C-alpha cells in the first residue's frame, strides 16, 4: 500500500472516529434527552484547545510566533483526558439555560448565540488561543517516541479513534437502555409531566450537557492531536448544524443512526464532493455544499423525520406474545365486555400497589363518611393565584382527608385546574400555602412533591408518546436503583431485579385496566380514552400517598369510568387520599365524598352531592349553568 493511500485511509478513519463521537454525544443530548444544544461545537472546540495547550510547550518556544494560555508540555494521555474534563466542566454554567422555566427553543437559541459569540471572542482575543490564526504545531501524542508520519503511527491513531468511538457507543447504549435512559426519554417527550412524576429535569439535562460535553471535548482532543492545528474558522456555529443534519438523517435517538449519520454527512458528503471536478468560481462548491446540507435537513424533517435508522421500540419479551386485536379496537369498548368486567370486580386484594398511607396501619372500609374524623393529609391555605394581575384563584382553603375520595367541581374558569396545579407544585401560588402530612411544601418543586408521595395527573393527554405503555408505567416507579446515572453505569445486573419487580406490578395493573395487549405499543398511538388510563396507571405505579386527578374520566367510556371510580374507592379504602376534578356529575354522585364546589376562584361550598344539590347558590353557579 502506497504511503499516500495509507495516509488517506487513516485520515478518513480518524475523521470517522471523531465525527462518530460528536454525533453520538449530540444524539444522546438531542435524540434521547431532548436537549437541543445548538452550541455543541463549543464543547468540541474547548476540548481541542485544552488538548493543544496541555501538550504544547510554553508559548515562547518555536520562536514565540503564537501566544496562548498554558503550554504545559504534558505527556499523552493527559491532554485527551483534559479535553474531556474541560468539555464536561464547560457544560455546568449552561445549567441556567436548561432549567424548568425556559422554553426548549429559547434555550437552544441561547446556546446558538453563545456559540457565535464564543467564536467571535476567541477570534478577536489573541492572548487566549492565538486569535484568528489559531494554534499550530500542536504535538501529536507520543511524538517524542514515535514518528507521527510513519504508517504504523497513523494506523495506531486511526484504530485508537475508532476504538474510543466504539467504547463511547457501548457506554451510551448502556446508559440509554436503563431505567435512567427511560427517564431521559420521558423528559424528551414531555418535561412538565416528567417533572410531575418525580424526575429532576434540571439535573437530568445538566447530566446530559456534561456527558455530551465530555464526549465532544474528547473528540476535539483526538482531532487536534491528529491535524496538529486548531483555529476559529474550524468551529463556526454552522458546524453544529452539520452535526444536527447528521443526527437527524441517521435517526435521532438511535445511537446506530448517529453513527450512520456521522459516516454519511460530515464524512462521506465532504469526501464525495472532493471528487467532483472543480467548476465555477472559487467558493462555489463549498457554498453549494451548505445549500445541500440545508436541503437535507428540511427534506428529512419533512419526508422522514425519524431518520434512516429510527429509534427502535423497546419490546418487553414478557408481553411480546400477548394476543393483539387485529383491528386495535379501543379498550374502552373492549373493557365493556363481560370478561373484562369480571376482572374488574375482583376484590381489592389484587391491588398491585401498597399505598404509602398504609403505614398508619389503618385501613378504611369502602363506605361513605367514616364515623371518626379522618386525618388531614393535604391542606390548602388561602391559596391565591393571579395571571397578569387577574385573580384566577383567590383565597382557596380546604383539606383532604386520609382515605377519602374528594371531588372538586365548578364551572369552566372556576380555577379548579389552577388550584390542582398549585397543590402539585406545577404552578407557584401568588400567596397562600400548601401543607402535606403536616409539612409546609409551598416552595417544594413538583418533582420533590412527587417523591414524597403527592402526585398529579393532567387534564390534557400527557402520556410519553414515544415510550411504550409499559415504559410509561415503569417510568413512574420511585427509587429505582437503575434510575440514576450511577445506577445506569453499573449496568443491568445492578438494576434488573428491581426492574423485574416493577414489571410484575405493571403487569397486574395492565391486566386490571385491560391494556395488557397494548403493553408494547407506543402510548402515543393509543386512543384518547386509553391514554387517560395509561396516565392513571402510571400515577398508581408511583404508589402515591395522595393523588390529584384532573378530569381522569373525560373521554372514557361511561362503563369504564364507573370501573375507574370503583377502583379509586378501593385505593382510598387501602389508605390513599385522592382528589378528583371532574365535570361528570354522575361520577361525583356515586363516588366522591365530600365534594368541593368552586366558582370564580373561590370555594363556594363543601359537602355531599345530595347536600350540595339543596343549596341554591351552588345550583345556580354550576348545576344549572
Partner 1 sequence: MSLLLASLGFGLVTAAVLAIASVGFTMQFAVTDVLNLAYGAVMILGAYVAYAINQHGVSIWIGVCVAAMFGALISVLLNRGVYTPFQRRGTAPIAIVIVSLGVTLILQFGLQAYVGGNTVSYQLDQVPTLSLGGLRLTSVQLVIIGLSVVTMLAVHALLRFSRLGKAMRATAADRSLARTCGIRTDRVVTITWLISGALCGVGGAVFAMDAGSFGATSTDLFLVLILAAVFLGGPGQAYGAMLGALVIGVGTEVSAAYLTPAYKDVVAFAVLLIMLAVRPTGLLGSRT
Would you say 392 or 609 has its CB closer to partner 1?
A: 392
Task: Identify which range of 118-126, 134-142, 260-268, 570-578 contacts partner 1 by CB under 8 A.
Answer: 118-126
> Would you count residue 192 as binding partner 1 (CB under 8 A)?
no
Would you say 466 or 538 has its CB closer to partner 1?
A: 466
> Would you count residue 92 as binding partner 1 (CB under 8 A)?
no
> Would you count residue 113 as binding partner 1 (CB under 8 A)?
yes
Q: What binding mask, one character per residue, do residues 388-417 give for partner 1 by CB under 8 A, x or -?
A: x-----------------------------
Q: What is the DSSP string of 293-330?
A: HHHHHHHHHHH-TT-SSPPPP---HHHHTS---TT---
Would you say 110 or 391 has its CB closer to partner 1?
A: 110
At closest approach, how far in Å is the CB of 98 from partner 1? 11
Per CB under 8 A, the list member of 114, 442, 459, 608 interacting with partner 1 is 114
102-141 burial, b at 16+ Cβ within 10 Å, e below that, comes to eeeeebbebbbebbeebbeebbeeeeebbbebbbbebbbb
Would you say 241 or 441 has its CB closer to partner 1?
A: 241
Instruction: Please name which of 311, 314, 331 lies closest in space to residue 526, comparing C-alpha atoms.
Output: 331
Binding to partner 1, residues 196-255 (CB under 8 A):
238, 241, 244-245, 248
> Would you count residue 537 as binding partner 1 (CB under 8 A)?
no
Instruction: Please name which of 319, 329, 312 lies closest in space to residue 526, comparing C-alpha atoms.
Output: 329
Distance CA(507)–CA(504), nearest Å, equals 5
Residues 6+ apart with CB under 8 A from 344: 335, 512, 563, 566, 567
Q: How far apart are the first and last CA of the chain?
A: 87
Q: How far is CA 258 from CA 21, 184, 280, in A?
A: 9, 17, 34
Distance CA(357)–CA(374), nearest Å, equals 12
Binding to partner 1, residues 2-41 (CB under 8 A):
36
Per CB under 8 A, the list member of 287, 315, 322, 497 interacting with partner 1 is 287
Please state the three-class secondary structure of 255-297 as a single string: HHHHHHHHHHHHHHHHHHHHCCCCCCCCCHHHHHHHHHHHHHH
Per CB under 8 A, the list member of 63, 283, 326, 365 interacting with partner 1 is 283
Enter the C-alpha cell of residue 185.
426519554
Per CB under 8 A, the list member of 108, 211, 396, 576 interacting with partner 1 is 108
CB 547 within 8 A of CB 351: no
Distance CA(118)–CA(133), nearest Å, equals 15
CB 272 within 8 A of CB 20: no
Per CB under 8 A, the list member of 194, 246, 263, 296 interacting with partner 1 is 296
Per CB under 8 A, the list member of 106, 192, 203, 325 interacting with partner 1 is 106
At closest approach, how far in Å is the CB of 459 from partner 1? 16
Would you say 411 or 524 has its CB closer to partner 1?
A: 524
Would you say 231 or 510 has its CB closer to partner 1?
A: 231
Burial class (CB in 10 A: 0-12, 13-18, 19+), 23: buried
> Would you count residue 297 as binding partner 1 (CB under 8 A)?
yes
> Would you count residue 290 as binding partner 1 (CB under 8 A)?
yes
* Contact positions vs partner 1 (CB under 8 A): 36, 96-97, 101-110, 112-114, 116-117, 120-121, 124, 238, 241, 244-245, 248, 280-284, 287-291, 293-298, 301-302, 305, 387-388
Amino acid at each position: 500500500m502506497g504511503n499516500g493511500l495509507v495516509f488517506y485511509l487513516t485520515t478518513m478513519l480518524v475523521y470517522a472516529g471523531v465525527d462518530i463521537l460528536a454525533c453520538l454525544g449530540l444524539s444522546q443530548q438531542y435524540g434521547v434527552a431532548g436537549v437541543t444544544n445548538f452550541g455543541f461545537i463549543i464543547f468540541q472546540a474547548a476540548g481541542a484547545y485544552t488538548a493543544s495547550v496541555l501538550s504544547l510547550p510554553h508559548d515562547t518556544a518555536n520562536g514565540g510566533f503564537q501566544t496562548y494560555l498554558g503550554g504545559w508540555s504534558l505527556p499523552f494521555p493527559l491532554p485527551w483526558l483534559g479535553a474531556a474534563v474541560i468539555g464536561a466542566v464547560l457544560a455546568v454554567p449552561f445549567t441556567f439555560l436548561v432549567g424548568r422555566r425556559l422554553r426548549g427553543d429559547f434555550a437552544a437559541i441561547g446556546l446558538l448565540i453563545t456559540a457565535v459569540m464564543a467564536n467571535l471572542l476567541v477570534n478577536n482575543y489573541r492572548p487566549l488561543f492565538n486569535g484568528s490564526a489559531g494554534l499550530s504545531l500542536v504535538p501529536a501524542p507520543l511524538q517524542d517516541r514515535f514518528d507521527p508520519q510513519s504508517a504504523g503511527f497513523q494506523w495506531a491513531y486511526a484504530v485508537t479513534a475508532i476504538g474510543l468511538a466504539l467504547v463511547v457507543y457501548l457506554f451510551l447504549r448502556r446508559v440509554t437502555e436503563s431505567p435512567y435512559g427511560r427517564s431521559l426519554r420521558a423528559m424528551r417527550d414531555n418535561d412538565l409531566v416528567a417533572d410531575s412524576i418525580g424526575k429532576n429535569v434540571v439535573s437530568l439535562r445538566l447530566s446530559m450537557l456534561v456527558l455530551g460535553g465530555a464526549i465532544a471535548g474528547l473528540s476535539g482532543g483526538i482531532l487536534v492531536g491528529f491535524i496538529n492545528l486548531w483555529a476559529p474558522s474550524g468551529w463556526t456555529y454552522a458546524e453544529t448544524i452539520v452535526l444536527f443534519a447528521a443526527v437527524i438523517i441517521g435517526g435521532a435517538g438511535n445511537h446506530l443512526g448517529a453513527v450512520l449519520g456521522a459516516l454519511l454527512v460530515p464524512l462521506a458528503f465532504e469526501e464525495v464532493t472532493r471528487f467532483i471536478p472543480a467548476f465555477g468560481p472559487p467558493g462555489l462548491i463549498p457554498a453549494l455544499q451548505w445549500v445541500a446540507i440545508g436541503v437535507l435537513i428540511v427534506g428529512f424533517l419533512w419526508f422522514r423525520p425519524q431518520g434512516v435508522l429510527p429509534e427502535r421500540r423497546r419490546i418487553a419479551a414478557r408481553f411480546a406474545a400477548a394476543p393483539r386485536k387485529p383491528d386495535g379496537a379501543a379498550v374502552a369498548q373492549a373493557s365493556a365486555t363481560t370478561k373484562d368486567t369480571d376482572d374488574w370486580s375482583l376484590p381489592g386484594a389484587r391491588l398491585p400497589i401498597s399505598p404509602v398511607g398504609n403505614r398508619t396501619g389503618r385501613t378504611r372500609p369502602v363506605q361513605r363518611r367514616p364515623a371518626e374524623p379522618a386525618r388531614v393529609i393535604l391542606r390548602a391555605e388561602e391559596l391565591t393565584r393571579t395571571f397578569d394581575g387577574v385573580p384566577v384563584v383567590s383565597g382557596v382553603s380546604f383539606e383532604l382527608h386520609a382515605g377519602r375520595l374528594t371531588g372538586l367541581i365548578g364551572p369552566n374558569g372556576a380555577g379548579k385546574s389552577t388550584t390542582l396545579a398549585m397543590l402539585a407544585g406545577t404552578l407557584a401560588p401568588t400567596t397562600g400555602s400548601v401543607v402535606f402530612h403536616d409539612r409546609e411544601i409551598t416552595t417544594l418543586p413538583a418533582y420533590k412533591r412527587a417523591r414524597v408521595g403527592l402526585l398529579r395527573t393532567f387534564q390534557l393527554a400527557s402520556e410519553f408518546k414515544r415510550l411504550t405503555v409499559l415504559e410509561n408505567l415503569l417510568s413512574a416507579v420511585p427509587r429505582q436503583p437503575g434510575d440514576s446515572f450511577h445506577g445506569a453505569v453499573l449496568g443491568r445486573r445492578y438494576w434488573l431485579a428491581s426492574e423485574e419487580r416493577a414489571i410484575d406490578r405493571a403487569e397486574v395493573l395492565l391486566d386490571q385496566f385491560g391494556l395488557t395487549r397494548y403493553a408494547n405499543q407506543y402510548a402515543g398511538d393509543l386512543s384518547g380514552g386509553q391514554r387517560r388510563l395509561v396516565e392513571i396507571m402510571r400515577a398508581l405505579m408511583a404508589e402515591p400517598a395522595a393523588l390529584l386527578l384532573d378530569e381522569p374520566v373525560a373521554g372514557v367510556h361511561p362503563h369504564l369510568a364507573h370501573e375507574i371510580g370503583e377502583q379509586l374507592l378501593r385505593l382510598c379504602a387501602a389508605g390513599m387520599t385522592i382528589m378528583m376534578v371532574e365535570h361528570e356529575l354522575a361520577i361525583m354522585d356515586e363516588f366522591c365524598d365530600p365534594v368541593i364546589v368552586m366558582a370564580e376562584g373561590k370555594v363556594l361550598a363543601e359537602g355531599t352531592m345530595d347536600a350540595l344539590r339543596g343549596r341554591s347558590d351552588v345550583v345556580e353557579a354550576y348545576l344549572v349553568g
